[in-house]
Amino acid sequence: MPCPPVDQLTGIRLVSAEQGRVVFALPASPWLRNEWGTVYGGMLTLVAKSAAAAAVQTTAARGTAFTALDVKTNLLRAVPADGSEIVATGTVLHRGKRLAIATADVMHGDVRVAVLTGTTALTPPGTRA
């Protein structure tokens, strides 16, 4: 599948993917600064949600529909907009028939800067929502 426009706009890119685990990276670009000169927390949530959602997708059959039910992000530290890499690793914690829970750790170098947890409803192909 082609990269979504938001990935092209922000510079998010897929680093690796395997069943139940996906890694995305994002440059801490000055374009992502908030009014205090650090990376906007919404960008950390975006890259974390991308990783967690993609980790869930690696566990599903082709044609499965996905609906985000909730997401929670804990922003732990400010990230300087210094151009270095922000790396989000998404991992599936629970995968049932209709529900998945995934988490993402967001790192800036060796420092954890955010943690995300999200719940996704799954509708397998050929079933009704």
pLDDT, tens digit (0-9, with 9 covering 90-100), for 103-118: 999 999 999 999 999 9
What is the residue extent of each domain of the chain? 5-123
Least confident span in 2-11, 48-57, 58-67:
2-11
**DSSP string for the chain:** -PPPHHHHHHT-EEEEEETTEEEEEEE--GGGB-TTSBB-HHHHHHHHHHHHHHHHHTTS-TT-EEEEEEEEEEE-S--B-SS-EEEEEEEEEEE-SSEEEEEEEEEETTEEEEEEEEEEEEE-TTS--
Question: Residue range 27-33: average pLDDT?
Answer: 95
Report the topology of domain 5-123: Thiol Ester Dehydrase; Chain A (3.10.129)
